């Protein structure tokens, strides 16, 4: 056997690098096998979670999973009728859980958002406390267009929906989340693969960068202040939802499995985490591949989506 591999310095560096990378990747992969710690924030029957953007997609998936794990849930959305219908669906599926609804359009919010704390207290009615906030509401207002094709209102709506409301509602609800003893509150912020900076969704992409920085900063602040509130960012890849209507497969889960995976990551020790194993694998390519190659691939895909969208609009106009 050739033993020079062990004595050649370059081989040694190569092997050390390989060992280090294997160790790093194993540490990252292992969190998908560990049991979640969500129960830390729940005394069944008394604890409440609030999910923003809960009438559809991943938000409704979070609401179902939280009920299944013993939480009472406040569903937030902009459409009172749809909220009531979703709350009724949850009550039928989980009769032992309580539900409440919070109607508030997040686009163009003003300081009326300060009243949310009072509304939440009223819904809970002294029968428990708010221990989990899921900042899920989000999405692109007009996907697949260049920045200058957007109107003033489109840019603001995307910022409100993905960033401004998250900061405001968290500010308002933080005192409620801090009320219990010990580590009692949890804030989960939904982030996205698009935080890497993607073309044709530039404003949306940037708001998800805000989500990641906001998450890190708030986590550090809560920890420095000993508030007993944990803060995590959940990075999400493609999910089949009404807001992103594509075919589902191993890499494109349905909303409820996506929400289940996200809640299973609670307590994994990371501030920002890929919530779903197969998205983590995809995300690795963003860390490893040169940005120029990645942008060529993603630009091709996003241009194809843009073309499809334009053809769909033309067809709709002709009809």
Residues that bind ligand NAP (CB under 6 A): 53-59, 77-79, 82, 105-107, 136-139, 161, 190, 192, 236, 238-239, 241-244, 255
Q: Which of 32, 41, 200, 204 is catalytic?
A: 204
DSSP state string for 92-147: HH-TTS-EEEEE---TT--GGGGGHHHHHHHHHTTSSEEEEEEE-----SS-S--G
Three-state secondary-structure class, residue 221? helix
In the complex with ligand NAP, the residue whose CB is nearer, 157 or 176, is 157
In the complex with ligand NAP, the residue whose CB is nearer, 227 or 237, is 237
Tell the smallest beta-carbon distance from residue 58 to ligand NAP (Å): 4
| Residue 276 bears catalytic tag | no
Tell the smallest beta-carbon distance from residue 291 to ligand NAP (Å): 20
* Residue 53 phi, psi dihedral angles, 5° rounding: 60, 50
In the complex with ligand NAP, the residue whose CB is nearer, 81 or 179, is 81
Tell the smallest beta-carbon distance from residue 160 to ligand NAP (Å): 7
CB 277 within 8 Å of CB 119: no
Tell the smallest beta-carbon distance from residue 120 to ligand NAP (Å): 16
- Rounded CA-CA distance 76/79 in Å is 9
CB 100 within 8 Å of CB 116: no
Residue labelled with tokens 């007009």: 142
Q: How far is CA 32 from CA 155, 179, 188, in A?
A: 36, 31, 17
In the complex with ligand NAP, the residue whose CB is nearer, 139 or 185, is 139
Q: State the catalytic residues.
A: 204
């Amino acid at each position: 056997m050739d033993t020079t591999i062990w004595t050649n310095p370059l081989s040694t560096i190569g092997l050390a690098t390989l060992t280090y990378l294997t160790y790093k990747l194993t540490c990252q992969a292992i969190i998908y096998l560990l049991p979640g710690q969500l129960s830390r924030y729940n005394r069944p029957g008394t604890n409440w979670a609030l999910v923003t953007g809960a009438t559809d997609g991943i938000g409704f998936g979070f609401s179902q999973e939280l009920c299944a794990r013993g939480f009472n849930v406040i569903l937030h959305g902009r459409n009172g009728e749809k909220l009531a219908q979703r709350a009724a669906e949850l009550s039928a599926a989980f009769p032992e859980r309580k539900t409440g609804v919070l109607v508030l359009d997040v686009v163009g919010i003003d300081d009326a958002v300060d009243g949310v704390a009072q509304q939440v207290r009223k819904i809970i009615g002294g029968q428990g406390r708010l221990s989990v906030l899921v900042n899920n509401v989000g999405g692109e207002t007009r996907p697949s267009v260049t920045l200058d094709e957007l109107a003033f209102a489109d840019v603001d709506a995307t910022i409100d929906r993905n960033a401004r409301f998250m900061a405001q509602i968290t500010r308002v609800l933080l005192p409620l989340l801090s009320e219990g003893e010990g580590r009692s509150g949890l804030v989960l912020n939904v982030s996205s693969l698009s935080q890497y900076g993607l073309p044709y969704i530039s404003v949306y992409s940037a708001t998800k960068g805000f989500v990641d920085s906001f998450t890190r900063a708030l986590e550090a602040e809560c920890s420095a202040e000993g508030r007993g509130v944990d803060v995590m960012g959940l990075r999400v890849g493609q999910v089949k939802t009404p807001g992103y209507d594509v075919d589902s497969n191993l890499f494109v889960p349905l909303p409820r499995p996506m929400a289940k995976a996200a809640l299973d990551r609670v307590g994994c020790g990371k501030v920002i985490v890929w919530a779903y194993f197969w998205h983590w694998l995809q995300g690795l390519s963003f860390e490893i591949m040169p940005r120029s190659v990645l942008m060529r691939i993603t630009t091709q895909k996003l241009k194809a989506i843009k073309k499809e969208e334009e053809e769909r609009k033309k067809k709709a106009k002709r009809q």
